[in-house]
Amino acid sequence: MGEFVRALWRAHRGLAAAWWLLAVAQAVLPALFAYEVGALIAAADPTASLIALGMVFLLMQVLAPVHGQVSTNLGDHLSSRLQDRLLTATTGPPGIAHLESRELAGQLAVARDFDQGISGPPLALSMGMIAGSLVEALAGLGQAVLLATFHWWAGALLAAAWLATHWLLRDSSSWDRDTPEVQHAQRRAEYTYRLAVDPPAGKEIRLFGLSDWTVRQFVHNRQKLVDLRWQATQLRRRGVGWTLTTLIAANGLVFWALAADNGLGLGQRAAFAQAAIGTATIAFGGLNWALPPAIEAVRAAGRLEATMARAGGLPAGERRTTGTDLRLRNVSFSYPNADRPVLDGLDLTIPAGASLAVVGLNGAGKTTLVKLICRLYDPTHGTVEADGVDLRDLDIEDWRSNVTAVFQDFIRYQLPLRENVAPNGASTEDITLALKATGAEFTDLDTVLAKGYDGGTDLSGGQWQRIALARALCATRQGAGIVVLDEPTAQLDVRGETEAFTRFLRETRGCTTILVSHRFGTVRQADRICVLDDGKVAELGSHDELMAANGKYRTMFDLQAARYDHD
Protein backbone atom coordinates (compact mmCIF):
# COMPACT_ATOMS: atom_id res chain seq x y z
CA MET A 1 0.00 0.00 0.00
CA GLY A 2 2.82 2.38 0.89
CA GLU A 3 4.49 1.76 -2.46
CA PHE A 4 1.24 2.58 -4.24
CA VAL A 5 0.75 5.82 -2.27
CA ARG A 6 4.31 6.89 -3.10
CA ALA A 7 3.74 6.09 -6.77
CA LEU A 8 0.66 8.35 -6.81
CA TRP A 9 2.64 11.19 -5.27
CA ARG A 10 5.47 10.79 -7.79
CA ALA A 11 3.05 10.58 -10.70
CA HIS A 12 1.59 14.06 -10.00
CA ARG A 13 1.86 15.76 -6.62
CA GLY A 14 -0.89 18.31 -7.22
CA LEU A 15 -3.43 15.76 -8.41
CA ALA A 16 -2.45 13.31 -5.66
CA ALA A 17 -2.97 15.94 -2.98
CA ALA A 18 -6.32 16.96 -4.48
CA TRP A 19 -7.34 13.29 -4.74
CA TRP A 20 -6.76 12.65 -1.03
CA LEU A 21 -8.36 15.94 0.09
CA LEU A 22 -11.48 15.27 -1.96
CA ALA A 23 -11.66 11.72 -0.58
CA VAL A 24 -11.53 12.95 3.01
CA ALA A 25 -14.05 15.73 2.32
CA GLN A 26 -16.52 13.29 0.76
CA ALA A 27 -15.99 10.83 3.62
CA VAL A 28 -17.12 13.41 6.20
CA LEU A 29 -20.33 14.33 4.36
CA PRO A 30 -22.42 11.12 4.89
CA ALA A 31 -21.98 11.31 8.68
CA LEU A 32 -22.81 15.00 8.56
CA PHE A 33 -25.87 14.22 6.40
CA ALA A 34 -27.10 11.62 8.92
CA TYR A 35 -26.62 14.11 11.75
CA GLU A 36 -28.57 16.82 9.88
CA VAL A 37 -31.41 14.39 9.13
CA GLY A 38 -31.74 13.70 12.84
CA ALA A 39 -31.57 17.42 13.60
CA LEU A 40 -34.31 18.12 11.04
CA ILE A 41 -36.63 15.52 12.56
CA ALA A 42 -36.08 16.86 16.06
CA ALA A 43 -36.17 20.58 15.21
CA ALA A 44 -39.16 22.74 16.10
CA ASP A 45 -38.24 25.18 13.31
CA PRO A 46 -36.88 23.13 10.39
CA THR A 47 -35.60 26.10 8.32
CA ALA A 48 -31.98 26.12 9.49
CA SER A 49 -31.78 22.32 9.43
CA LEU A 50 -33.22 22.20 5.89
CA ILE A 51 -30.65 24.74 4.66
CA ALA A 52 -27.79 22.83 6.29
CA LEU A 53 -29.10 19.52 4.92
CA GLY A 54 -29.40 21.01 1.46
CA MET A 55 -25.84 22.33 1.53
CA VAL A 56 -24.48 18.95 2.61
CA PHE A 57 -26.50 17.21 -0.11
CA LEU A 58 -25.24 19.68 -2.74
CA LEU A 59 -21.62 19.11 -1.73
CA MET A 60 -22.14 15.36 -1.93
CA GLN A 61 -23.41 15.69 -5.51
CA VAL A 62 -20.70 18.14 -6.63
CA LEU A 63 -17.61 16.61 -5.05
CA ALA A 64 -18.24 13.11 -6.42
CA PRO A 65 -17.85 13.94 -10.15
CA VAL A 66 -14.96 16.30 -9.42
CA HIS A 67 -13.21 13.51 -7.54
CA GLY A 68 -13.95 11.15 -10.40
CA GLN A 69 -12.31 13.47 -12.93
CA VAL A 70 -9.27 13.98 -10.69
CA SER A 71 -9.05 10.18 -10.32
CA THR A 72 -9.08 9.67 -14.09
CA ASN A 73 -6.37 12.28 -14.64
CA LEU A 74 -4.26 10.90 -11.80
CA GLY A 75 -4.69 7.39 -13.21
CA ASP A 76 -3.48 8.61 -16.61
CA HIS A 77 -0.41 10.15 -15.01
CA LEU A 78 0.27 6.99 -13.02
CA SER A 79 -0.12 4.87 -16.15
CA SER A 80 2.29 7.13 -18.06
CA ARG A 81 4.82 6.94 -15.25
CA LEU A 82 4.63 3.14 -15.13
CA GLN A 83 5.05 2.98 -18.91
CA ASP A 84 8.09 5.23 -18.60
CA ARG A 85 9.50 2.89 -15.97
CA LEU A 86 8.86 -0.17 -18.15
CA LEU A 87 10.53 1.43 -21.18
CA THR A 88 13.45 2.59 -19.08
CA ALA A 89 13.82 -0.90 -17.61
CA THR A 90 13.96 -2.48 -21.08
CA THR A 91 16.06 0.15 -22.88
CA GLY A 92 18.28 1.21 -19.99
CA PRO A 93 20.61 -1.81 -19.63
CA PRO A 94 23.54 -1.55 -22.07
CA GLY A 95 23.30 -5.22 -23.04
CA ILE A 96 20.44 -7.08 -24.73
CA ALA A 97 20.43 -10.38 -22.85
CA HIS A 98 17.39 -9.26 -20.86
CA LEU A 99 15.40 -8.81 -24.07
CA GLU A 100 15.97 -12.47 -24.94
CA SER A 101 15.20 -13.88 -21.50
CA ARG A 102 12.08 -16.03 -21.33
CA GLU A 103 11.51 -15.21 -17.66
CA LEU A 104 11.85 -11.47 -18.10
CA ALA A 105 9.71 -11.41 -21.23
CA GLY A 106 6.98 -13.03 -19.16
CA GLN A 107 7.35 -10.40 -16.42
CA LEU A 108 7.16 -7.63 -19.01
CA ALA A 109 3.95 -9.07 -20.47
CA VAL A 110 2.39 -9.23 -16.98
CA ALA A 111 3.49 -5.67 -16.14
CA ARG A 112 2.03 -4.35 -19.39
CA ASP A 113 -1.19 -6.25 -18.74
CA PHE A 114 -1.61 -4.67 -15.31
CA ASP A 115 -0.93 -1.19 -16.64
CA GLN A 116 -2.97 -1.37 -19.84
CA GLY A 117 -5.85 -3.29 -18.29
CA ILE A 118 -5.94 -6.13 -20.81
CA SER A 119 -7.21 -8.55 -18.15
CA GLY A 120 -9.04 -5.91 -16.10
CA PRO A 121 -9.76 -2.20 -15.94
CA PRO A 122 -6.91 0.15 -16.96
CA LEU A 123 -5.39 2.35 -14.28
CA ALA A 124 -7.36 5.45 -15.30
CA LEU A 125 -10.59 3.53 -14.64
CA SER A 126 -9.19 1.68 -11.62
CA MET A 127 -8.35 4.98 -9.94
CA GLY A 128 -12.02 5.99 -10.19
CA MET A 129 -13.08 2.69 -8.64
CA ILE A 130 -10.46 3.06 -5.91
CA ALA A 131 -11.58 6.62 -5.23
CA GLY A 132 -15.22 5.57 -4.82
CA SER A 133 -14.26 2.63 -2.63
CA LEU A 134 -11.92 4.74 -0.49
CA VAL A 135 -14.62 7.37 0.05
CA GLU A 136 -17.09 4.66 1.05
CA ALA A 137 -14.63 3.12 3.51
CA LEU A 138 -13.72 6.45 5.10
CA ALA A 139 -17.38 7.48 5.17
CA GLY A 140 -18.22 4.23 6.94
CA LEU A 141 -15.59 4.95 9.57
CA GLY A 142 -16.96 8.48 9.95
CA GLN A 143 -20.46 7.16 10.54
CA ALA A 144 -19.08 4.63 13.01
CA VAL A 145 -17.69 7.60 14.94
CA LEU A 146 -21.14 9.21 14.91
CA LEU A 147 -22.68 5.94 16.10
CA ALA A 148 -20.15 5.85 18.94
CA THR A 149 -21.89 8.90 20.44
CA PHE A 150 -24.86 6.59 21.05
CA HIS A 151 -22.70 3.94 22.74
CA TRP A 152 -18.93 3.73 22.30
CA TRP A 153 -19.11 0.00 21.69
CA ALA A 154 -21.76 0.29 18.96
CA GLY A 155 -19.55 2.18 16.53
CA ALA A 156 -16.51 0.04 17.35
CA LEU A 157 -18.46 -3.22 17.00
CA LEU A 158 -19.96 -2.41 13.59
CA ALA A 159 -16.69 -0.97 12.27
CA ALA A 160 -14.83 -4.10 13.38
CA ALA A 161 -17.48 -6.41 11.90
CA TRP A 162 -17.46 -4.76 8.49
CA LEU A 163 -13.66 -4.44 8.45
CA ALA A 164 -13.45 -8.16 9.25
CA THR A 165 -15.06 -8.93 5.91
CA HIS A 166 -11.85 -7.80 4.20
CA TRP A 167 -9.86 -10.40 6.11
CA LEU A 168 -12.48 -13.15 5.91
CA LEU A 169 -12.76 -12.75 2.12
CA ARG A 170 -9.12 -11.86 1.52
CA ASP A 171 -8.66 -14.68 -1.02
CA SER A 172 -11.38 -13.28 -3.25
CA SER A 173 -9.05 -10.72 -4.82
CA SER A 174 -5.69 -12.53 -4.66
CA TRP A 175 -4.26 -13.64 -7.99
CA ASP A 176 -0.55 -14.31 -8.27
CA ARG A 177 0.36 -13.47 -11.85
CA ASP A 178 4.09 -13.88 -11.25
CA THR A 179 3.94 -17.57 -12.18
CA PRO A 180 5.25 -19.31 -15.34
CA GLU A 181 1.75 -20.48 -16.29
CA VAL A 182 0.21 -17.02 -16.11
CA GLN A 183 3.18 -15.39 -17.82
CA HIS A 184 3.08 -17.91 -20.68
CA ALA A 185 -0.64 -17.40 -21.30
CA GLN A 186 -0.20 -13.62 -21.13
CA ARG A 187 2.71 -13.61 -23.58
CA ARG A 188 0.87 -15.85 -26.05
CA ALA A 189 -2.25 -13.71 -25.86
CA GLU A 190 -0.29 -10.51 -26.42
CA TYR A 191 1.64 -12.12 -29.28
CA THR A 192 -1.47 -13.24 -31.16
CA TYR A 193 -3.06 -9.84 -30.56
CA ARG A 194 -0.05 -8.16 -32.17
CA LEU A 195 -0.21 -10.63 -35.07
CA ALA A 196 -3.77 -9.52 -35.73
CA VAL A 197 -3.32 -5.75 -35.49
CA ASP A 198 0.25 -5.05 -36.70
CA PRO A 199 0.97 -4.71 -40.45
CA PRO A 200 3.99 -7.08 -40.87
CA ALA A 201 1.96 -10.26 -40.33
CA GLY A 202 -1.10 -9.01 -42.21
CA LYS A 203 -0.08 -10.41 -45.61
CA GLU A 204 0.59 -13.98 -44.52
CA ILE A 205 -2.40 -14.14 -42.17
CA ARG A 206 -4.68 -13.35 -45.09
CA LEU A 207 -2.81 -15.27 -47.77
CA PHE A 208 -2.66 -18.51 -45.79
CA GLY A 209 -6.13 -18.13 -44.29
CA LEU A 210 -4.88 -17.74 -40.71
CA SER A 211 -7.45 -15.21 -39.51
CA ASP A 212 -9.59 -17.78 -37.69
CA TRP A 213 -6.50 -19.48 -36.28
CA THR A 214 -5.19 -16.16 -34.92
CA VAL A 215 -8.49 -15.37 -33.24
CA ARG A 216 -8.74 -18.88 -31.78
CA GLN A 217 -5.23 -18.63 -30.36
CA PHE A 218 -5.99 -15.28 -28.78
CA VAL A 219 -9.31 -16.45 -27.33
CA HIS A 220 -7.72 -19.65 -26.00
CA ASN A 221 -5.03 -17.79 -24.10
CA ARG A 222 -7.37 -15.10 -22.82
CA GLN A 223 -9.72 -17.83 -21.59
CA LYS A 224 -6.74 -19.51 -19.95
CA LEU A 225 -6.10 -16.30 -18.00
CA VAL A 226 -9.75 -16.09 -16.99
CA ASP A 227 -9.65 -19.71 -15.78
CA LEU A 228 -6.44 -19.14 -13.83
CA ARG A 229 -7.95 -16.12 -12.15
CA TRP A 230 -11.11 -18.02 -11.25
CA GLN A 231 -9.10 -20.90 -9.80
CA ALA A 232 -7.15 -18.43 -7.66
CA THR A 233 -10.13 -16.41 -6.43
CA GLN A 234 -12.88 -18.99 -6.00
CA LEU A 235 -11.55 -19.50 -2.47
CA ARG A 236 -13.89 -16.64 -1.55
CA ARG A 237 -16.53 -19.29 -0.79
CA ARG A 238 -14.61 -20.47 2.28
CA GLY A 239 -15.22 -17.24 4.22
CA VAL A 240 -18.84 -16.55 3.31
CA GLY A 241 -20.36 -18.43 6.24
CA TRP A 242 -18.19 -16.73 8.85
CA THR A 243 -18.77 -13.36 7.18
CA LEU A 244 -22.56 -13.65 7.34
CA THR A 245 -22.48 -14.89 10.94
CA THR A 246 -20.28 -11.97 12.05
CA LEU A 247 -22.38 -9.32 10.29
CA ILE A 248 -25.75 -10.68 11.48
CA ALA A 249 -24.56 -10.83 15.07
CA ALA A 250 -23.01 -7.34 15.13
CA ASN A 251 -25.81 -5.54 13.29
CA GLY A 252 -28.49 -7.42 15.26
CA LEU A 253 -26.98 -6.31 18.55
CA VAL A 254 -26.63 -2.66 17.56
CA PHE A 255 -30.15 -2.32 16.13
CA TRP A 256 -31.60 -4.15 19.15
CA ALA A 257 -29.86 -1.59 21.39
CA LEU A 258 -31.28 1.29 19.33
CA ALA A 259 -34.78 -0.14 19.60
CA ALA A 260 -34.49 -0.89 23.32
CA ASP A 261 -33.14 2.52 24.42
CA ASN A 262 -36.25 4.45 25.45
CA GLY A 263 -34.20 7.55 26.22
CA LEU A 264 -33.57 8.30 22.53
CA GLY A 265 -35.67 10.85 20.71
CA LEU A 266 -37.02 10.25 17.24
CA GLY A 267 -34.37 12.45 15.63
CA GLN A 268 -31.53 10.73 17.49
CA ARG A 269 -32.90 7.31 16.66
CA ALA A 270 -33.10 8.23 12.94
CA ALA A 271 -29.57 9.68 12.91
CA PHE A 272 -28.03 6.67 14.68
CA ALA A 273 -29.93 4.16 12.54
CA GLN A 274 -28.71 5.88 9.36
CA ALA A 275 -25.17 5.92 10.77
CA ALA A 276 -25.41 2.18 11.52
CA ILE A 277 -26.56 1.52 7.95
CA GLY A 278 -23.84 3.80 6.55
CA THR A 279 -21.11 1.97 8.46
CA ALA A 280 -21.69 -0.94 6.07
CA THR A 281 -19.79 0.97 3.34
CA ILE A 282 -16.59 -0.18 5.08
CA ALA A 283 -17.40 -3.66 3.82
CA PHE A 284 -15.82 -6.07 1.39
CA GLY A 285 -17.23 -4.46 -1.75
CA GLY A 286 -14.84 -1.73 -2.86
CA LEU A 287 -11.27 -1.55 -1.79
CA ASN A 288 -10.93 -5.29 -1.33
CA TRP A 289 -11.21 -5.74 -5.13
CA ALA A 290 -10.38 -2.33 -6.60
CA LEU A 291 -7.08 -1.69 -4.84
CA PRO A 292 -5.03 -4.92 -5.32
CA PRO A 293 -4.71 -4.69 -9.15
CA ALA A 294 -3.44 -1.11 -8.93
CA ILE A 295 -0.99 -1.99 -6.17
CA GLU A 296 0.21 -5.00 -8.16
CA ALA A 297 0.72 -2.82 -11.27
CA VAL A 298 3.17 -0.68 -9.31
CA ARG A 299 4.87 -3.72 -7.80
CA ALA A 300 5.15 -5.42 -11.20
CA ALA A 301 7.00 -2.41 -12.58
CA GLY A 302 9.35 -2.47 -9.60
CA ARG A 303 10.04 -6.19 -9.98
CA LEU A 304 10.72 -5.75 -13.67
CA GLU A 305 13.18 -2.90 -13.07
CA ALA A 306 15.19 -5.01 -10.64
CA THR A 307 15.29 -8.18 -12.72
CA MET A 308 15.91 -6.38 -16.03
CA ALA A 309 18.88 -4.57 -14.50
CA ARG A 310 20.36 -7.84 -13.23
CA ALA A 311 19.85 -9.69 -16.51
CA GLY A 312 20.80 -6.97 -19.00
CA GLY A 313 23.44 -5.10 -17.08
CA LEU A 314 27.03 -4.87 -18.27
CA PRO A 315 29.81 -3.37 -16.17
CA ALA A 316 30.12 0.32 -17.03
CA GLY A 317 33.90 0.53 -17.00
CA GLU A 318 35.95 3.71 -16.91
CA ARG A 319 35.72 6.67 -19.25
CA ARG A 320 38.70 6.48 -21.60
CA THR A 321 39.56 7.48 -25.12
CA THR A 322 39.13 4.38 -27.26
CA GLY A 323 41.16 3.19 -30.19
CA THR A 324 40.07 1.22 -33.21
CA ASP A 325 42.63 -1.62 -33.17
CA LEU A 326 40.47 -4.64 -32.30
CA ARG A 327 41.64 -7.97 -30.95
CA LEU A 328 39.65 -10.96 -29.72
CA ARG A 329 41.67 -13.23 -27.41
CA ASN A 330 40.50 -16.79 -26.76
CA VAL A 331 36.86 -15.64 -26.95
CA SER A 332 34.06 -18.07 -26.13
CA PHE A 333 30.37 -17.28 -25.91
CA SER A 334 27.26 -19.30 -25.13
CA TYR A 335 23.64 -18.17 -25.18
CA PRO A 336 21.47 -19.07 -22.16
CA ASN A 337 20.12 -22.64 -22.28
CA ALA A 338 22.26 -23.43 -25.34
CA ASP A 339 23.71 -26.93 -25.72
CA ARG A 340 27.09 -25.75 -27.06
CA PRO A 341 29.04 -22.49 -27.37
CA VAL A 342 28.61 -20.38 -30.50
CA LEU A 343 32.21 -19.16 -30.29
CA ASP A 344 34.85 -21.42 -28.77
CA GLY A 345 38.39 -20.14 -28.23
CA LEU A 346 38.33 -17.63 -31.08
CA ASP A 347 41.43 -15.47 -31.73
CA LEU A 348 41.28 -12.62 -34.23
CA THR A 349 43.02 -9.26 -34.82
CA ILE A 350 41.49 -6.44 -36.87
CA PRO A 351 43.98 -3.62 -37.54
CA ALA A 352 42.82 -0.02 -37.26
CA GLY A 353 41.50 1.36 -40.53
CA ALA A 354 41.29 -2.06 -42.20
CA SER A 355 38.25 -3.80 -43.63
CA LEU A 356 37.50 -7.38 -42.62
CA ALA A 357 34.83 -9.64 -44.13
CA VAL A 358 33.50 -12.52 -42.03
CA VAL A 359 32.03 -15.56 -43.78
CA GLY A 360 30.91 -19.01 -42.75
CA LEU A 361 27.99 -21.39 -42.75
CA ASN A 362 24.75 -20.51 -40.97
CA GLY A 363 25.24 -20.76 -37.21
CA ALA A 364 29.01 -20.31 -37.42
CA GLY A 365 28.82 -17.32 -35.05
CA LYS A 366 29.18 -14.40 -37.47
CA THR A 367 26.39 -12.26 -36.00
CA THR A 368 27.45 -13.18 -32.46
CA LEU A 369 30.96 -11.96 -33.24
CA VAL A 370 29.78 -8.50 -34.30
CA LYS A 371 27.43 -8.27 -31.30
CA LEU A 372 30.43 -8.83 -29.03
CA ILE A 373 32.31 -6.06 -30.82
CA CYS A 374 29.31 -3.76 -30.34
CA ARG A 375 29.29 -4.93 -26.71
CA LEU A 376 25.69 -6.02 -26.81
CA TYR A 377 27.04 -9.05 -24.96
CA ASP A 378 30.21 -9.76 -23.02
CA PRO A 379 32.20 -12.93 -23.78
CA THR A 380 31.61 -15.96 -21.61
CA HIS A 381 35.40 -16.40 -21.60
CA GLY A 382 38.25 -14.41 -23.07
CA THR A 383 38.42 -10.71 -23.94
CA VAL A 384 37.54 -8.30 -26.74
CA GLU A 385 40.11 -5.49 -26.73
CA ALA A 386 40.48 -2.04 -28.28
CA ASP A 387 44.09 -0.88 -28.44
CA GLY A 388 44.94 -3.54 -25.88
CA VAL A 389 42.21 -2.49 -23.41
CA ASP A 390 39.38 -4.88 -22.51
CA LEU A 391 36.06 -3.40 -23.67
CA ARG A 392 34.69 -4.12 -20.21
CA ASP A 393 37.18 -1.57 -18.83
CA LEU A 394 35.97 1.16 -21.21
CA ASP A 395 33.01 3.45 -20.63
CA ILE A 396 30.25 1.78 -22.59
CA GLU A 397 28.72 5.02 -23.87
CA ASP A 398 32.11 6.21 -25.13
CA TRP A 399 32.62 2.88 -26.88
CA ARG A 400 29.18 2.91 -28.45
CA SER A 401 29.77 6.45 -29.76
CA ASN A 402 32.80 5.04 -31.60
CA VAL A 403 30.81 2.22 -33.23
CA THR A 404 28.07 2.29 -35.85
CA ALA A 405 26.29 -0.72 -37.30
CA VAL A 406 23.79 -1.95 -39.85
CA PHE A 407 22.20 -5.25 -38.81
CA GLN A 408 20.22 -7.52 -41.09
CA ASP A 409 17.14 -6.83 -38.97
CA PHE A 410 17.64 -3.05 -38.93
CA ILE A 411 14.77 -0.84 -37.76
CA ARG A 412 12.42 0.91 -40.16
CA TYR A 413 11.39 3.91 -38.09
CA GLN A 414 7.92 5.30 -38.74
CA LEU A 415 9.48 8.75 -38.75
CA PRO A 416 10.53 11.32 -41.36
CA LEU A 417 13.42 10.39 -43.66
CA ARG A 418 15.65 12.87 -41.83
CA GLU A 419 15.19 11.05 -38.50
CA ASN A 420 15.58 7.64 -40.11
CA VAL A 421 19.07 8.61 -41.26
CA ALA A 422 20.01 10.53 -38.09
CA PRO A 423 17.75 9.58 -35.13
CA ASN A 424 19.98 11.59 -32.78
CA GLY A 425 20.19 14.56 -35.11
CA ALA A 426 22.71 15.71 -37.72
CA SER A 427 23.13 18.56 -40.18
CA THR A 428 21.12 18.52 -43.39
CA GLU A 429 24.39 18.44 -45.34
CA ASP A 430 25.62 15.28 -43.58
CA ILE A 431 22.26 13.56 -44.07
CA THR A 432 22.11 14.48 -47.76
CA LEU A 433 25.68 13.37 -48.45
CA ALA A 434 25.09 10.06 -46.66
CA LEU A 435 21.98 9.38 -48.75
CA LYS A 436 23.76 10.23 -51.99
CA ALA A 437 26.71 7.99 -51.09
CA THR A 438 24.44 4.96 -50.74
CA GLY A 439 22.49 5.69 -53.92
CA ALA A 440 19.22 6.19 -52.05
CA GLU A 441 16.48 8.00 -53.93
CA PHE A 442 14.84 10.77 -51.94
CA THR A 443 12.96 14.02 -52.45
CA ASP A 444 11.93 15.50 -49.12
CA LEU A 445 13.78 14.79 -45.88
CA ASP A 446 10.59 15.51 -43.93
CA THR A 447 8.53 12.79 -45.63
CA VAL A 448 7.32 10.21 -43.09
CA LEU A 449 8.37 6.70 -44.13
CA ALA A 450 5.11 4.98 -43.25
CA LYS A 451 1.83 4.85 -45.14
CA GLY A 452 -0.28 5.33 -42.04
CA TYR A 453 0.49 9.07 -41.88
CA ASP A 454 -0.66 12.02 -44.00
CA GLY A 455 1.74 12.34 -46.91
CA GLY A 456 3.63 9.27 -45.71
CA THR A 457 5.16 6.69 -48.00
CA ASP A 458 6.80 3.29 -47.75
CA LEU A 459 9.97 2.13 -49.48
CA SER A 460 11.06 -1.05 -51.17
CA GLY A 461 13.28 -3.44 -49.26
CA GLY A 462 16.33 -2.31 -51.25
CA GLN A 463 15.64 1.37 -50.62
CA TRP A 464 15.22 0.69 -46.91
CA GLN A 465 18.63 -1.00 -46.87
CA ARG A 466 20.17 2.04 -48.51
CA ILE A 467 18.58 4.20 -45.79
CA ALA A 468 20.13 1.93 -43.14
CA LEU A 469 23.55 2.24 -44.80
CA ALA A 470 23.10 6.02 -44.92
CA ARG A 471 22.38 5.93 -41.17
CA ALA A 472 25.75 4.26 -40.57
CA LEU A 473 27.55 6.66 -42.92
CA CYS A 474 26.03 9.64 -41.15
CA ALA A 475 27.33 8.27 -37.85
CA THR A 476 30.87 8.08 -39.25
CA ARG A 477 30.60 11.76 -40.18
CA GLN A 478 29.80 12.38 -36.52
CA GLY A 479 32.89 10.58 -35.25
CA ALA A 480 32.27 6.81 -35.31
CA GLY A 481 35.48 4.99 -36.24
CA ILE A 482 34.26 1.37 -36.33
CA VAL A 483 31.62 0.24 -38.82
CA VAL A 484 29.82 -3.09 -38.47
CA LEU A 485 27.76 -4.40 -41.39
CA ASP A 486 25.81 -7.61 -40.76
CA GLU A 487 24.19 -8.70 -44.05
CA PRO A 488 23.39 -5.03 -44.78
CA THR A 489 22.39 -5.41 -48.42
CA ALA A 490 20.63 -8.78 -48.60
CA GLN A 491 17.62 -7.22 -50.39
CA LEU A 492 19.72 -5.58 -53.11
CA ASP A 493 20.55 -7.47 -56.29
CA VAL A 494 24.13 -8.66 -56.77
CA ARG A 495 25.20 -5.68 -58.85
CA GLY A 496 23.46 -3.20 -56.56
CA GLU A 497 25.12 -4.71 -53.51
CA THR A 498 28.58 -4.62 -55.07
CA GLU A 499 28.18 -1.01 -56.13
CA ALA A 500 26.75 0.01 -52.74
CA PHE A 501 29.58 -1.63 -50.81
CA THR A 502 32.23 -0.17 -53.12
CA ARG A 503 30.86 3.32 -52.46
CA PHE A 504 30.55 2.54 -48.76
CA LEU A 505 34.21 1.50 -48.47
CA ARG A 506 35.24 4.66 -50.29
CA GLU A 507 33.20 6.85 -47.95
CA THR A 508 34.46 5.10 -44.79
CA ARG A 509 38.14 5.05 -45.75
CA GLY A 510 40.13 5.22 -42.52
CA CYS A 511 37.44 3.49 -40.46
CA THR A 512 37.72 -0.06 -39.18
CA THR A 513 35.03 -1.96 -41.08
CA ILE A 514 33.68 -5.44 -40.30
CA LEU A 515 31.38 -6.96 -42.94
CA VAL A 516 29.28 -10.10 -42.60
CA SER A 517 27.89 -11.29 -45.94
CA HIS A 518 27.06 -14.41 -47.91
CA ARG A 519 27.82 -12.77 -51.25
CA PHE A 520 31.44 -13.31 -52.20
CA GLY A 521 31.39 -10.66 -54.90
CA THR A 522 31.12 -8.15 -52.08
CA VAL A 523 33.31 -10.04 -49.61
CA ARG A 524 36.31 -10.10 -51.98
CA GLN A 525 36.55 -6.29 -51.78
CA ALA A 526 37.60 -6.41 -48.10
CA ASP A 527 41.27 -6.15 -47.14
CA ARG A 528 41.09 -9.46 -45.32
CA ILE A 529 38.56 -12.27 -45.07
CA CYS A 530 37.90 -14.40 -41.99
CA VAL A 531 36.28 -17.83 -42.36
CA LEU A 532 34.49 -18.98 -39.19
CA ASP A 533 33.91 -22.66 -38.57
CA ASP A 534 32.95 -24.48 -35.39
CA GLY A 535 33.31 -21.30 -33.33
CA LYS A 536 36.90 -20.59 -34.38
CA VAL A 537 38.82 -18.83 -37.14
CA ALA A 538 39.37 -21.52 -39.78
CA GLU A 539 41.06 -19.33 -42.41
CA LEU A 540 42.26 -15.72 -42.56
CA GLY A 541 43.74 -13.74 -45.44
CA SER A 542 43.01 -11.70 -48.54
CA HIS A 543 40.76 -13.02 -51.30
CA ASP A 544 43.73 -14.00 -53.46
CA GLU A 545 45.52 -15.67 -50.54
CA LEU A 546 42.49 -17.73 -49.58
CA MET A 547 41.78 -18.74 -53.16
CA ALA A 548 45.37 -19.89 -53.46
CA ALA A 549 45.10 -21.85 -50.21
CA ASN A 550 42.37 -23.96 -51.84
CA GLY A 551 40.50 -24.45 -48.56
CA LYS A 552 37.02 -23.77 -47.20
CA TYR A 553 36.83 -20.27 -48.65
CA ARG A 554 37.76 -21.49 -52.14
CA THR A 555 35.08 -24.20 -51.93
CA MET A 556 32.34 -21.74 -50.91
CA PHE A 557 33.45 -19.15 -53.47
CA ASP A 558 33.51 -21.65 -56.36
CA LEU A 559 30.06 -23.01 -55.46
CA GLN A 560 28.56 -19.52 -55.55
CA ALA A 561 30.47 -18.46 -58.64
CA ALA A 562 29.34 -21.60 -60.51
CA ARG A 563 25.71 -20.75 -59.77
CA TYR A 564 26.09 -17.23 -61.14
CA ASP A 565 28.00 -18.51 -64.19
CA HIS A 566 25.13 -20.90 -64.88
CA ASP A 567 22.55 -18.12 -64.51
Compute the Cα dihedral for 552, 555, 557, 560 and give only its sign: negative
Question: Residue 319 falls within a domain, yes or no?
Answer: no
Statement to judge: residues 414 and 460 lie in one domain: yes
What three-state secondary structure class fits 551?
coil
Nearest to 324 by CA among 256, 272, 382, 402: 402
List the end-to-end C-alpha distance of the chain, in Å, as a whole number: 71
| Residue ranges making up the domain that contains 356 | 326-566
Q: Are residues 263 and 404 in the same domain?
A: no
Predicted confidence pLDDT, tens digits, the chain (567 residues) = 677 788 888 888 899 899 889 888 888 888 888 888 888 888 778 888 888 888 988 888 888 888 888 888 888 888 888 778 777 777 777 777 767 666 666 666 666 665 554 444 556 566 767 777 777 777 777 778 888 888 888 888 888 887 777 676 665 555 556 677 777 777 788 888 888 887 778 877 887 788 888 888 888 888 887 787 777 665 445 566 777 788 788 888 888 888 888 888 888 888 888 878 777 776 655 555 566 666 777 777 777 767 666 665 566 566 554 556 899 999 999 887 778 899 999 999 999 989 999 998 888 889 899 999 998 889 999 999 998 899 989 888 888 888 998 888 888 888 899 999 988 888 898 999 888 888 887 768 898 888 878 888 888 888 888 898 899 999 888 888 899 988 876 666 777 777 777 788 888 888 899 999 888 888 888 899 999 998 899 999 999 999 999 999 999 888 887 766 554
Q: Both 415 and 554 in a single domain?
A: yes
Same domain assignment for residues 300 and 331: no
- The model carries a pTM of 0.66
Q: Which H or E run contains 346?
A: strand 343-350
Residues 216 and 363 reside in one and the same domain: no
Q: Does 372 share its domain with 478? A: yes
DSSP string, 390-434: EGGGB-HHHHHHTEEEE-TT----SSBHHHHH-TT---HHHHHHH
Q: Which amino acid is at 292?
A: P
**419 and 298 in one domain?**
no
Residue 320 domain-assigned? no
Q: Domain check: are 345 and 290 in the same one?
A: no
pLDDT at 122: 58
- One domain, residues 110 and 239: yes
| Interatomic CA distance for residues 15 and 425, integer angstroms | 36
Q: Are 339 and 469 members of one domain?
A: yes
Q: Of 285, 312, 339, which residue sits at a domain end?
A: 312
Residues in CB range of 491: below 8 A, 6 or more apart: 460, 461, 462, 464, 465
CATH number, position 346: 3.40.50.300
CATH number of domain containing 27: 1.20.1560.10
* pLDDT given at position 347: 94
The last residue of one of the domains, among 250, 282, 312, is 312
Q: Is residue 273 part of a domain?
A: yes
335 and 210 in one domain?
Answer: no
Domain count, the chain: 2
- Kindly state whether residue 355 falls inside one of the protein's structural domains: yes
Please tell me whether residues 277 and 410 are part of one structural domain.
no
Residue 192 resides in a domain? yes
Domain boundary among 255, 289, 312: 312
